[in-house]
Structure 1
Amino acid sequence: MPHIVIEYAAVLRQQLDIGELVSKVHKGAIASGLFNPDAVKTRAYACDDYLLGQGDANDFIHIRMSIMPGRSDSQKQQLTQSVWQAMSALAADVSCVSVEVAELHQPSYLKQEH
C-alpha cells in the first residue's frame, strides 16, 4: 500500500515524459517514509475526454493515493507534500495539478497475491 493512480490529460503526452512523472510520484511516495517501498504501486491513465471548469484550463494531472486507514492527518499531509515536491517541477506548466490521499474501506478491500 498505497495504490497511486495518476490521471492526466492525454494532450500532456506531447509535453511531458509520462514515465518520468510516474517515477517521480512513485519515488515521492517512498520518500515519505510511510510505506515499505516494495508495497508502493503507481500507474497512470490518460484521459482523452474531459471538461475543466468553463474551459479556461486545457490540461490537468490528478494524483489519488489510496491507503489503508490508520494514518494521521499529519502523515497524510506528509505524503501529499513528499509527492508534490517530487513531481511539481516536472508539471510546472500544467494548468491544474491536484493530489489527494483517500482511505480505502478496509472491510471491503480484498487483495490476493501469488
Structure 2
Amino acid sequence: MPHFIMEYSANLEDDLDIPGLFEKLNETAIGTGVFPIGGIRTRAVRCDHFRIGEGDPDNTFVHLTAKVGSGREPEVLKAACDKIFETFTQCLQPTFDKRWMSIGFEMIELHPERNYRMNNIHKKLAEKK
C-alpha cells in the first residue's frame, strides 16, 4: 500500500499526462520511506458522466484517493499526505492554470481486520537485492 485511485472528468483527457503523473506519485510515495514499494498500486478511472458545480461543461475535476494499511502514527501519515498532495498539485498546476478545476486528495486508512491481501511482489523485490 498505498493504492492510489485517481478519478478524473473525461473533459481532461487531453490535458493530463497520466503515466508521468503516476511515475511522480509513485516516486514520492517511495521517497517518504513510509510505504513498501511492492505494495504501491496506481490507477486512473475516467468519469464519462459527471456534473461539477453549476454544470458548466468546462469545469473539470481530479480526485486522488490513497488507501493505506493501518497501524502508522497519524503524524507519519500526515507528513506523507503533505508530500503526496504537493507532488499531485505540482503535476496538475499547468492544467489548473488554464482550466476551471477542482483538485482533491484523501488518504483512507483501511480497517486492520477487514482488509485482505495476497502479494508476492515483495518476494520478487527482495530477491533482486
Q: What is the TM-score of this pair, normalised by structure 1? A: 0.86
Matching residue's letter, 1:87:
F
Q: Which amino acid aligns with 1:85?
A: E
Task: Give unmatched runs, 5+ long, in structure 2.
Answer: 121-129
Identity of aligned residues (%): 29
Higher normalized helix content (fraction of residues) = 2
CA distance in 2, matches of 1:19, 1:11: 17
Match of 1:99 among 83, 87, 105: 105
**Radius of gyration: which is bigger?**
2
State the Cα distance separating 1:90 from its structure 2 match: 2.1
* Corresponding pairs, count: 114
AA of the residue aligned to 1:49? H
| Per-residue Cα deviation, 1:57-95 (whole angstroms, up to 9, x for no partner) | 711111111111122222222121111222322211331
* Residue in structure 2 matched with residue 76 of structure 1 by the alignment: 77
> What are the ranges of 5 or more consecutive residues in structure 1 without an aligned counterpart?
none
Q: In the alignment, what sits opposite 1:46? A: 46
Report SS of the residue matched to 2:38: helix
Q: Kindly tell me: are residues 43 and 72 of structure 1, through their superposed partners in 2, closer, same or farther at Cα, counting changes over 3 Å?
A: same
